[in-house]
């Protein structure tokens, strides 16, 4: 009641961010798998919150939903990475993606949730099922591991990605 946005619209609005997070979590290489995980997360979360209708009317419903979605996605990604060999970013991707891929999963998820998705430390702790000090510790470790890199973001990273004149992308 009183919410301008209905549930499906909220899910739809959150989907691009989820995709970004999923790709970053999987080292930005296997987009197809990332989208699969996003779909899994969307579906489980939607199904769960259908059963939990009193919560959907609470004032924090959208935030709760967002936390649930990211928790579900993180969980799915972790399971996926455990079962399959991790994917390496390709050489034409920016250096920061390579450094990111080298981080342990817990540090990567924490850094991405804070920096890319804009969650607060408390929300990150909820998503990753830890407490705030642990989340903060992981964030600090992640940052210091990445610090050596990219004093200047490489401008050449995008140059190689354009298709040659003889290649045609069929839409």
User: Rule CB under 8 A: which residues touch another protein?
Assistant: 7-8, 11-12, 15-17, 19-20, 23-24, 28-33, 35, 38-39, 42-43, 46-47, 50, 84-85, 87-88, 90-94, 96-97, 100, 111-112, 114-116, 120-121, 136, 139-140, 143, 146-147, 149-151, 153, 161, 163-164, 166-171
Looking at the Cβ atoms of 75 and 141, the one nearer to another protein is 141
Give one word for 19, left, alpha or beta, with left for phi > 0 and alpha for psi -120 to 50.
Answer: alpha
Looking at the Cβ atoms of 39 and 78, the one nearer to another protein is 39
- Alpha carbon separation from 170 to 81, 141, 158, 167 (Å, rounded): 32, 43, 21, 10
- 93, 108 in Cβ contact below 8 A? no
Looking at the Cβ atoms of 2 and 168, the one nearer to another protein is 168
- Alpha carbon separation from 164 to 15, 45, 153, 158 (Å, rounded): 32, 42, 24, 13
Looking at the Cβ atoms of 100 and 127, the one nearer to another protein is 100
């Amino acid at each position: 009641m009183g919410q301008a946005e209905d549930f499906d619209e909220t899910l739809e609005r959150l989907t691009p961010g989820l995709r970004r997070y999923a790709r970053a979590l999987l080292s930005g290489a296997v987009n197809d798998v990332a989208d699969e995980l996003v779909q899994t997360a969307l579906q489980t979360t939607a199904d769960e919150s259908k059963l939990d209708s009193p919560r959907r009317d609470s004032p924090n419903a959208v935030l709760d939903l967002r936390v649930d979605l990211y928790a579900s996605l993180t969980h799915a990604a972790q399971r996926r990475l455990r079962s399959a060999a991790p994917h390496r970013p390709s050489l034409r991707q920016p250096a920061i993606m390579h450094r990111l891929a080298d981080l342990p999963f817990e540090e990567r998820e924490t850094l991405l949730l804070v920096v890319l998705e804009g969650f607060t430390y408390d929300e990150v702790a909820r998503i990753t099922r830890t407490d705030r000090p642990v989340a903060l510790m992981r964030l600090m470790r992640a940052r210091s591991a990445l610090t050596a890199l990219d004093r200047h973001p490489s401008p050449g990273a995008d140059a190689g990605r354009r298709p040659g004149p003889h290649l045609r992308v069929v839409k």
